[in-house]
Amino acid sequence: MSMNQSDSEEGINDINITPFVDVVLVLLVIFMVTAPMMIKEGMKVELPHSSTSDKMPSMTLSIVILKSGQVLLNGTLMTKEALTESSKAILKQSPEAKAIIGADLEAKHGDVISVMDHLKLAGIKNIAFQVVREAP
> Could you tell me the CATH number of the domain that includes residue 124?
3.30.420.270
Among 111, 107, 91, smallest CA distance to 99 is for 91
Query: According to the model, what pLDDT value does residue 1 have?
Result: 46
Q: Indicate whether 87 and 28 sit together in one domain.
A: no
- Within this chain, do residues 121 and 63 fall inside the same structural domain, yes or no? yes
Q: Are residues 67 and 127 in the same domain?
A: yes
Q: Which domain holds residue 78?
A: 49-133
pLDDT at residue 8, as a whole number: 55
User: Which one, of 75, 136, 65, 73, lies nearest residue 106 by Cα?
Assistant: 65
Q: Same structural domain for residues 56 and 36?
A: no
Q: What is the pLDDT along the chain (136 residues), one digit of tens a residue?
A: 445 555 556 676 778 889 899 999 999 998 888 877 665 555 666 777 777 766 544 578 888 888 888 898 888 888 888 888 888 888 888 888 888 898 888 889 999 999 999 989 888 888 888 888 777 6
Q: Can you give the pLDDT at residue 57? A: 46
Is the same domain home to 122 and 57? yes
Torsion, CA 11, CA 16, CA 19, CA 22, rounded to 10: -150
Q: Are 126 and 97 within one domain? A: yes
Total domain count for the chain? 2
